[in-house]
């Protein structure tokens, strides 16, 4: 067999294995590189060259930035703005807002990150407004596909296309250059949704529904009846407690009251300073009369009319939160003593309340039993770290609660500043994308917005390794002449030279393949073909590469086309056939933009 035949066999085998989906895509992708090396089509260095490619590093850093936006509550804030602006009567207004938000988030933090962040918000919104989730989720995903063309950071394919244009002797495609074509794509998706969505989309609810945590703090305060015996007292300027250490509060004169916590008035966290100052506040449990007496004696602010709101805000805010844990059978904590106001061994969590059988056990110390529930309060970081203990069962993940219920939390403005800096340097081209991405990760980690471990977990390693492992395929296609052979076929199909027909052929080839395997893998296969075809016809590679990027985003016809299509399948109650019914008009619109609009923006 000649090299081109071997090349074709490897590509065909990879496509079949991708569609079969019984072998992890990472193994298939890495197997492609090893097969190319084993058959002598590439050297070992070429087979592994993708793992050192700057584009791969840049793609990995985008996942970290995406995670920072999510963890700091930026996406939660965007979701809450969506809920406020959607109203309760206008379906069209709601769909437009969801589509715009999904598209903008995708352009900034990638397709998977945007949909993962918005999915629970949109499902909860559908429940509140009594709309079938199936009418909202697929339009959201398809708008996000269009949004991936609004900026360079919207998709790994954009990065690959921009790098390929530079490698082909043209120029890298600019950060906001994608916006020129992304806007008509997005407007078309929104228009099709408004005109035909009600008829083409099913009216169903999914098997699994997200939980609404927007009122989680209020729910916990009511369930544990904290407002009946827990009071928030703020130190006034004239209080004799100012300048005193928290240990000075442990006095016998506090008969009938128990000190639960001393919190910093600026951050809401448990006080770390050696002495108290004006604005700090005390959480005490007991009778209202005793709390009022203490407030009078110690010159403390005690506002009964706002006590519920103050209490909730002091326990659940940007820096600290609440978490419920249950004592499971065979836990080592069974038989240990606990009481309201107790500080855990780690020193950063406080026991706010204890219930047994749904009833409060009171303020006195008790021995824990299996099935007891404890309400803990502490910083979000402490809750995330300490509640990984196998001796307790966490009722609701603090991380999940925080992401949905605490907008613009700690580190949000730092993250937004980092994002703004990234956009500036990428848009101006002052620094390479990989350098910008690595610098952004440095800042986010050093400023403690995310930890190193969280950064590792944030990266979608399947996507990163897939891109790196499949890059040698493009090299092999060029070296063996396979790319040129396919390009000659496309040029011949263009009947003597119409570039429009070439774009049409490129779109069909890319779009069809993209319904079956990853659009990133599809782009890596088609990019060298497109570049070779543009060279053969003597035209600019930029419109051809931009068409490949658009076609790769047109993954509408099957749920397996992208992870996000699959992500909404169960919550939306979609069947396999629902995708092509609603996706076909989208595909036609993307075809029109690709073939007829792109040449107007980037001439041949």
Q: Domain with 386 in it: what CATH number?
A: 3.30.70.1450
242-267: pLDDT as tens digits: 988 887 776 555 667 777 778 887 77
Q: State the pLDDT at residue 244.
A: 87
Same domain as 304, residue 226: yes
- How many CB atoms neighbour CB 3 within 10 A? 15
- Give residue-wise pLDDT tens across range 4-24: 888 888 888 887 887 776 888
Cβ pair 367, 336 in contact under 8 A: yes
In a domain, 285, yes or no: yes
Choose the final residue of a domain: 283, 315, 347.
315
To which residue do tokens 């963890």 refer? 71
Q: Which residues are 261's β-sheet partners?
A: 283
Pick from 461, 489, 521: which residue ends a domain?
461
60 versus 194: the higher-pLDDT residue is 194
Please tell me the distance from the alpha carbon of residue 545 to that of residue 530, in angstroms, as a whole number.
7
Res 305: pLDDT = 43
Give the pLDDT of residue 568.
80
Are 121 and 236 in the same domain?
no
- DSSP H helical segments within 352-451, as ranges? 380-386, 398-405, 412-428, 433-446
For residue 538, being part of any structural domain is answered with no
Bigger pLDDT: 431 vs 439: 439
Q: Indicate whether 174 belongs to any domain.
A: yes
Task: Let me know whether 106 and 173 are in one domain.
Answer: yes
Tell whether the model's pLDDT for residue 497 goes beyond 70.
no
Would residue 201 count as lying in a domain? yes
**Rounded percentage of the chain residues whose pLDDT exceeds 90:** 18
pLDDT, one tens digit per residue, over 289-319 is: 888 888 888 888 875 544 556 666 677 777 7
**Domain match, 180 and 68 both:** yes
160-174, 192-206, 213-227, 324-338: least confident range? 213-227
So what's the pLDDT on residue 140?
Answer: 94
Question: Domain range holding 327?
Answer: 321-391
Lowest mean pLDDT among 34-38, 85-89, 161-165, 189-193: 85-89
**Residue with more model confidence, 242 or 344:** 242
pLDDT at 594 (0 to 100): 93
Cα 368 to Cα 338: distance, rounded to the nearest angstrom? 7
Q: Would you state the pLDDT for residue 206?
A: 58
Residues 169 and 284 in one domain: no
The model's confidence at residue 496, banded by pLDDT at 50, 70 and 90, is low
Q: Could you give the CA distance from residue 17 to residue 19 in angstroms, rounded to a whole number?
A: 5
Distance between alpha carbon 425 and the CA centroid of its chain, in Å? 23
- Are 264 and 201 contained in the same domain? no
Residues 205 and 71 reside in one and the same domain: yes
Most confident of 38-52, 57-71, 251-265, 459-473: 38-52
The region that residue 451 occupies, defined by phi over 0 for left and psi between -120 and 50 for alpha, beta otherwise, is beta
Query: How far, in Å, are 77, 118, 125, 136, 187 from residue 83 at the CA level?
Result: 10, 11, 7, 13, 21
Secondary structure class of 35 (helix, strand, coil): helix
Residue 370 lies in a domain: yes
The pLDDT value recorded for residue 519 is 79
| Judgement on whether residues 165 and 72 belong to the same structural domain of the protein | yes
Q: Would residue 369 count as lying in a domain?
A: yes
Last residue of a domain, one of 289, 315, 341: 315
Sign of CA dihedral 529, 532, 536, 539: positive
pLDDT of residue 1: 66
User: Which residues make beta-bridge pairs with 394?
Assistant: 325
Residue 54 falls inside a structural domain: no
My answer on whether 343 and 438 are in the same domain is no
pLDDT, position 87:
63
Is residue 490 one of the residues assigned to a domain?
A: no
- For 115-150, what is each residue's pLDDT tens digit? 877 777 787 778 777 788 889 999 999 999 999 999
Domain total of the chain = 3
Examine the domain organization and report whether 100 and 168 are in the same domain. Answer: yes
Do residues 257 and 300 lie in contact, with contact meaning Cβ atoms separated by under 8 Å? Answer: no
Same domain, 151 and 89: yes
Written as six digits, the tokens of 68 are 């920072």
Q: Which residue's entry shows tokens 């070429």? A: 46
Residue 86 scores a pLDDT above 80: no
The per-residue pLDDT for 312 is 67
Distances (CA, A) of 107 to 147, 157, 384, 399: 6, 12, 29, 24
As a whole number, mean pLDDT of residues 313-341 equals: 84
Interval 507-516: pLDDT, tens = 988 888 888 7
When pLDDT is averaged across residues 544-566 and rounded to a whole number, the result is 86
- Same domain for 382 and 274: no
Question: What is the pLDDT of the chain when averaged over all its residues?
Answer: 83
Phi-psi region of 279 (alpha: psi -120 to 50; beta: other; left: phi over 0): left
For position 419, what pLDDT does the model report? 86
Average pLDDT of span 532-550: 90
How much is the pTM? 0.70
pLDDT of residue 205: 67
């Amino acid at each position: 067999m000649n090299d081109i035949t071997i090349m074709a066999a490897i590509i065909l085998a990879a496509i079949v294995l991708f569609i079969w989906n019984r072998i992890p895509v990472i193994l298939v992708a890495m197997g492609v590189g090893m097969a190319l090396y084993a058959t002598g089509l590439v050297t070992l260095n070429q087979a592994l060259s993708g793992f050192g490619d700057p584009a791969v590093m840049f793609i990995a850093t985008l996942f970290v930035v995406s995670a920072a936006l999510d963890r700091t509550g930026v996406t939660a804030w965007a979701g809450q703005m969506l809920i406020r602006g959607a109203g309760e009567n206008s379906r069209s207004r709601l769909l437009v807002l969801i589509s715009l938000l999904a598209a903008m988030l995708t352009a900034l933090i990638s397709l998977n990150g945007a949909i993962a962040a918005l999915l629970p918000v949109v499902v909860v919104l559908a429940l509140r407004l009594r709309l079938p989730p199936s009418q909202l989720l697929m339009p959201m995903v398809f708008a996000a596909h269009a949004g991936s063309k609004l900026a360079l950071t919207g998709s790994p394919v954009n990065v690959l296309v921009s790098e390929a244009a530079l490698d082909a002797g043209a120029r890298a495609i600019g950060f906001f250059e994608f916006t020129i074509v992304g806007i008509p794509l997005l407007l078309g998706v929104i228009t099709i949704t408004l005109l035909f969505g009600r008829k083409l989309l099913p009216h169903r609810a999914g098997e699994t529904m997200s939980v609404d945590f927007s009122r989680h703090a209020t729910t916990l305060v009511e369930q544990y009846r904290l407002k009946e015996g827990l009071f928030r007292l703020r130190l006034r300027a004239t209080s004799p407690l100012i300048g005193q250490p928290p240990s000075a509060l442990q006095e016998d004169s506090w008969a009938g009251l128990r000190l639960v916590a001393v919190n910093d008035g600026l951050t809401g966290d448990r006080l770390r300073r050696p002495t108290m100052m004006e604005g700090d506040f005390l959480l005490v449990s007991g009778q209202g009369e005793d709390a009022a007496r203490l407030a009078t004696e110690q010159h403390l602010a005690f506002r009964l009319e706002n006590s519920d709101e103050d209490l909730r805000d002091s326990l659940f805010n940007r820096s600290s939160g609440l978490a419920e844990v249950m004592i499971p059978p065979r836990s080592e904590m069974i038989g240990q003593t606990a009481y309201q106001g107790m500080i855990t061994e780690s020193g950063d969590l406080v026991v706010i309340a204890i219930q047994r059988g749904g009833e409060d056990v009171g303020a006195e110390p008790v021995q824990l039993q299996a099935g007891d529930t404890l309400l803990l309060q502490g910083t979000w970081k402490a809750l995330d770290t300490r509640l990984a203990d196998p001796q307790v069962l966490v009722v609701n993940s603090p991380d999940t609660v925080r992401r949905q219920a605490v907008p613009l939390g700690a580190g949000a403005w730092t993250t937004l500043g980092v994002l703004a800096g990234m956009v500036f340097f990428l848009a101006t081209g002052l620094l390479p994308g990989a350098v910008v991405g690595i610098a952004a990760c440095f800042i986010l980690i050093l400023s403690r917005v995310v930890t190193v471990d969280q950064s590792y977990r944030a990266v979608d390693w399947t996507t990163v390794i897939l891109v790196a492992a499949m890059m040698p395929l493009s090299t092999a296609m060029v070296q063996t002449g396979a790319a040129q052979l396919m390009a000659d076929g496309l040029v011949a199909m263009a009947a003597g030279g119409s570039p429009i027909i070439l774009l049409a052929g490129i779109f069909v080839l890319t779009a069809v393949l993209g319904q079956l395997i990853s659009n990133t893998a599809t782009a890596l296969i088609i990019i060298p073909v497109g570049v070779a075809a543009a060279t053969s016809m003597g035209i600019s590679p930029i419109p051809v590469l931009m068409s490949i990027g658009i076609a790769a985003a047109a993954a509408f016809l099957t749920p397996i086309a992208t992870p996000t299509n699959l992500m909404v399948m169960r919550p939306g109650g979609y069947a396999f056939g629902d995708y092509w019914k609603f996706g076909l008009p989208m595909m036609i619109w993307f075809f029109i933009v690709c073939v007829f609009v792109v040449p107007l923006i980037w001439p041949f």
